[in-house]
Amino acid sequence: MCGICGVAFTSRNADAESRVRAMCAAMHHRGPDEEGFLLSEARAPGLALGMRRLSIIDLVGGHQPIWNETKDVAVVFNGELYGYRDLRERLVLCGHRFATQSDTEILVHAWEEWGEDALNELRGMFAFALLDLRERYATAPILFLARDPLGIKPLYYTQTPQGFAFASEVRGLLAAGLAPRSLSRDALTSYLLFGSVSEPVTLVEGVFSLPPGHRMLLHVPERRRVPRARQWWDPALSPAARDTRKPRDLASAAKKLRPMLEDAVKTHLIADVPVGLFLSSGLDSGAIAALAAKAQSGIQSFTLAFPGTAFDEAAAARVIAQHCRTKHTEVPLGGAAVVERMDEAIAALDQPTMDAVNTYFVSWAAREVALKVALSGLGGDELFAGYQTFADTPRVARLIRTAWFVPAVARELTKLLVAALAGSRGSPDAGRKAIAAWVSPDSLPHPYFFTRALFPPGKLEQIIEPRFRPSTIGPDGVTLEPTWIGWLQRAADEARKQEPVAGISWLEIRSYMASTLLRDTDSVSMAQSLEVRVPMLDTPLMEFVNALPDAARRRPGIQKALLVEAIRDLLPAEILGQKKRTFTLPWEEWLRGPLRKRVEASFGNPAPALKPVLRPGGVQVVWKEFLAGRTTWARPWSLFVLNEWCRRHLAA
Band (12; pLDDT cuts 50, 70, 90): low
β-bridge pairing 73-81 and 66-67: antiparallel
| Across 75-81, average pLDDT | 95
Show the domains of the chain with their CATH numbers: 2-233 (3.60.20.10), 237-385+507-576 (3.40.50.620), 386-506 (no CATH)
DSSP conformational letter for 212? T
Is pLDDT at 491 greater than 60 in this prediction?
yes
Omega of the bond prior to 466 within 30 degrees of 0, cis? no
Residues in the chain, overall count = 652
Is pLDDT at 578 greater than 90 in this prediction?
no
CA atoms of 118 and 110, how far apart (whole Å)? 6
Q: What is the pLDDT of residues 161-219, one digit of tens each?
A: 888 999 999 999 999 999 999 999 999 999 999 999 999 999 999 999 999 999 999 98
CA atoms of 65 and 14, how far apart (whole Å)? 19
Is pLDDT at 13 greater than 70 in this prediction?
no
Is pLDDT at 556 greater than 90 in this prediction?
no
Number of separate helices (H) and strands (E) present in the chain: 27, 19
- Among residues 191, 119, 102, the alpha carbon closest in space to that of 641 is found at 191
| Across 306-316, average pLDDT | 81
| Whole-number percent of the chain with pLDDT over 90 | 71
For the chain, what is the mean pLDDT? 91
Residue 59, burial from CB neighbour count under 10 angstroms (0-12, 13-18, 19+) = middle
Q: What is the pLDDT of residues 214-229, one digit of tens each?
A: 999 998 865 556 788 9
Mapping DSSP to helix (H, G, I), strand (E, B) and coil, where does residue 462 land? Answer: helix
Q: What is the dihedral of CA 344, 345, 347, 352, to 10 degrees?
A: -160
Band (151; pLDDT cuts 50, 70, 90): very high
Number of C-beta neighbours around residue 333 at 10 A: 20
Q: What is the pLDDT of residues 429-462, one digit of tens each?
A: 888 899 999 999 999 999 999 999 999 999 999 9
SS3 assignment for 267-319: HHCCCCCCEEEECCCCHHHHHHHHHHHHHCCCCEEEEEECCCCCCCCHHHHHH
Element (H, E) at 171: helix 170-175
Band (428; pLDDT cuts 50, 70, 90): confident
Tell how far CA 412 is from the center of its chain. 37
Q: What is the pLDDT of residues 323-376, one digit of tens each?
A: 999 999 888 888 788 888 889 999 999 999 998 888 898 888 888 888 899 999
Q: What is the pLDDT of residue 426?
A: 66
Q: What is the pLDDT of residue 588?
A: 87
SS3 assignment for 49-72: EEEEECCCCCCCCCCCCEECCCCC
Number of C-beta neighbours around residue 243 at 10 A: 12
Is pLDDT at 311 greater than 80 in this prediction?
no
Q: What is the dihedral of CA 235, 240, 242, 244, to 10 degrees?
A: -150
Tell how far CA 121 is from the center of its chain. 22
| Across 285-314, average pLDDT | 88
DSSP conformational letter for 228? P
Helix axes 634-649, 596-603, angle to 10 degrees: 60
β-bridge pairing 214-219 and 230-231: antiparallel
Contact between 137 and 144 (Cβ < 8 Å): no
Q: How far apart, in Å, are the Cα atoms of 521 and each of 115, 351, 561? A: 31, 12, 26
CA atoms of 158 and 371, how far apart (whole Å)? 34
- Among residues 196, 229, 126, 193, the alpha carbon closest in space to that of 641 is found at 196
Number of C-beta neighbours around residue 605 at 10 A: 10
Q: What is the pLDDT of residues 114-136, one digit of tens each?
A: 999 999 999 999 999 999 998 76
Q: What is the pLDDT of residue 488?
A: 95
Sheet holding 327-332, edge to edge: 327-332, 300-305, 275-278, 373-375, 531-533
Please report which residue ranges of 461-567 form alpha helices under DSSP H.
484-495, 500-508, 519-527, 539-546, 561-566
Q: What is the pLDDT of residues 92-108, one digit of tens each?
A: 999 899 988 889 999 99
